Amino acid sequence: MLTIVSDLFLTDSFLIKGNIENKYTRLSQILDEHRKFFLKVRDATLIDLKTCERIQTPLLHVNVDEILLAHELLDEAGDRHLKQLTDDRDLHRVRVFYTGNLNIEVAGHVRPGAYEADDQVSRRFFVLRKPTIRGFKDRGDQDLKLMDGLGYAILNKARLSYIYDFN
């Protein structure tokens, strides 16, 4: 049976594919405004980053603090958030680093100060355009290859270890 998934999450241990339960708006907004510790993901598939083994479950509770980055696979045309993603004005080129169980570097473009705690537009997560991910090995796995060539990534501010802002 084929299940269509719309949401993608990368943690230190797993790539998680599924659908956020009761999704009411774009993923970036849900993550930024989520008030509970756990996010409910329906029809979830967890892909182990070391072994590529899969775990499938009808419902998974994901600790929001564990999410390194996220992406919405199904975009809606004409969406105002999608329009913002295509606006290239005043973006800063950055490289951000996550250190821990999964040491990765993500390079791309962000709004100036998007990663700061006092950012007026975002609280916990921010959008990075045209991400390039280094330190992540797809091991030839089709699902893990999804991390290559994303148009944007939603990054968890609290999980960032270092930021190099080229501006």
The whole-angstrom separation of Cα 32 and Cα 106 is 19
pLDDT at 149: 87
pLDDT at 105 over 80: yes
**pLDDT value of residue 24:** 85
Q: Which structural domain range is residue 143 located in?
A: 80-165
Residue 69's pLDDT is what?
96
- Final residue in a domain of this structure, among 30, 51, 72: 72
User: How sure is the predictor about 34, in pLDDT bands with cuts at 50, 70 and 90?
Assistant: confident
| Residue 159 shares a structural domain with residue 113 | yes
Q: What is the pLDDT of residue 98?
A: 94
What is the token pair recorded at 121? 């537009």
In this structure, what CATH number is given to the domain that contains residue 47? 2.30.30.100
pTM of the model: 0.88
Q: Do 15 and 58 fall within a single domain?
A: yes
Bridge partner list, 164: 95
Same domain, 157 and 106: yes
Element (H, E) at 92: strand 92-98
Average pLDDT estimate for 124-137: 93
Residues 160 and 89 in one domain: yes
Q: What CA–CA distances, in Å, run from 1 to 4, 18, 87, 119, 131? A: 10, 15, 38, 43, 32
Phi, psi at residue 128, to the nearest 5°? -115, 125
Verify that 103 and 134 share a domain, yes or no: yes
Q: What is the pLDDT of residue 79?
A: 46
Q: How far apart are CA 103 and CA 72, in angstroms?
A: 23
Q: Does residue 90 share a domain with residue 67? A: no
pLDDT average, residue stretch 28-35:
88
152 and 97 share a domain? yes
Q: Are residues 91 and 149 in the same domain?
A: yes
Same-domain check for residues 37 and 93? no
The reply to whether 40 and 87 lie within a common domain is no
Residue 77: per-residue pLDDT: 44
The pair of structure tokens assigned to 34 is: 């989520």
Q: What is the pLDDT of residue 21?
A: 93
User: Looking at the domain assignment, is residue 2 inside a domain?
Assistant: no
Maximum Cα interatomic distance, the chain, rounded to a whole number of Å: 48
Taking only the tens place, the pLDDT of each residue in 57-97 is 999 999 999 999 999 987 544 444 444 545 556 899 999 99
